[in-house]
Structure 1
Amino acid sequence: MASATSVKLDDDMKARVRHLAEARKRTSHWIMREAISQYVEREERREALRHETLEAWEEFRETGQGATADEVDRWLQSWGRDDERPAPECGK
């Protein structure tokens, strides 16, 4: 269920939203909902990546196992070639 929420915009931003809504043949309400939705989705993905990165860093600190940047770079550069390399193994 949706509920109303107020957002205070300065006059310039309000005019920009209104102009974009007119150009897209949408309502200002639709533009703002879409913008918020896209922002929240992007930030959720960013937060998940940050969390995964911190977990990987903690695992590395505990085990000391990982691949060097050079190993990963060589692997990535081989993608799509006939002589594609296997993923580097994590070692100490």
Structure 2
Amino acid sequence: MNLVSRTLEIDVDTDARLREIASERGKDVATVLAEAVALLDSVIDLSGPDLAEDRDRYEEFKRTGLAVPLDDVKAWVASWGSANELPRPQPRKIK
């Protein structure tokens, strides 16, 4: 593996947490940072939003009036892992 030396300025709390995580895992801080970047890259698409898809979905909403209200989504997510987990909310006519 080719290594590059890079200097980063981070706050003391972040530094302390990085050192703590590294110690807990028996790794060095550079490895913890590399793993964090790999994880971030796997869950977030940094290439930018798909505006065409957003426009298509908005046009579909204007045509049908169907959507899932935010409060329904919040209630559904809040119920995850509970004994009373709610079913996935379904789109309905929105004014």
TM-score by length of 1: 0.50
**Structure with max Cα Rg:** 1
TM-score by length of 2: 0.49
Counting helix residues as a fraction of each chain, which structure ranks higher? 1
Counting strand residues as a fraction of each chain, which structure ranks higher? 2
